[in-house]
Amino acid sequence: MHLACDGRGRPLGFVVTGGNTNDCTQFEQVLAQIKVRRPDPGRPRNRPDHLLGDKGYSSRSIRNYLRKSGIPHTIPERSDQQANRRRRGSNGGRPPRVEAALDDVALFVALLVESA
C-alpha cells in the first residue's frame, strides 16, 4: 500500500500494489488520488500546500513532476546525488557549495606554495 497523508496523519489518497513495488514508481498515482473536500461548494482540492518526502522520493523525475505541478516540496537528497553533483562541478546543474570550492582553491594555493 502506498499512502499520502496530511500533517495529522489522516489518509488523503492511497494505491494498493504488490509487495515489492517501489514507492517512487507509484508517486504520481498516489498524488492523483488526493481529493480534499472544501467547506464551501466547489471542486475538491487535489494539490497539497506542501509535500514532505523521504530520501526514497529524491529522484529527478519526481522533483521535475512537483516543479511542473507547482507543488512546493521538501525532500532530502541522497548522498550519492550530492557527490555526483559535486563531481560534475559546473556541468552538474545546481552549483556545488561555495565553501567546498573555496577549500579546493586554498588547497591548490597551498600545493603551489609547497612546490615552488
| 116 residues of the chain, pLDDT tens digit each | 888 888 888 888 888 888 888 878 888 888 888 888 888 898 988 888 888 888 888 888 888 999 999 988 888 888 877 787 777 776 666 555 544 555 555 555 555 554 44
At residue 68, the pLDDT reads 92
Nearest in space to 78 (alpha carbons), one of 62, 101, 67, 102? 62
Instruction: Please say whether the beta carbons of 30 and 57 come within 8 A.
Output: no
Contact 4, 12 (CB under 8 A): yes
The string of DSSP codes covering 41-106 is SSPPB-S-S-EE--GGG--HHHHHHHHHHT--EE-PPPHHHHHHHHHHGGGSSSPPPHHHHHHHHH
Q: What pTM, to 2 d.p., does this model score?
A: 0.65
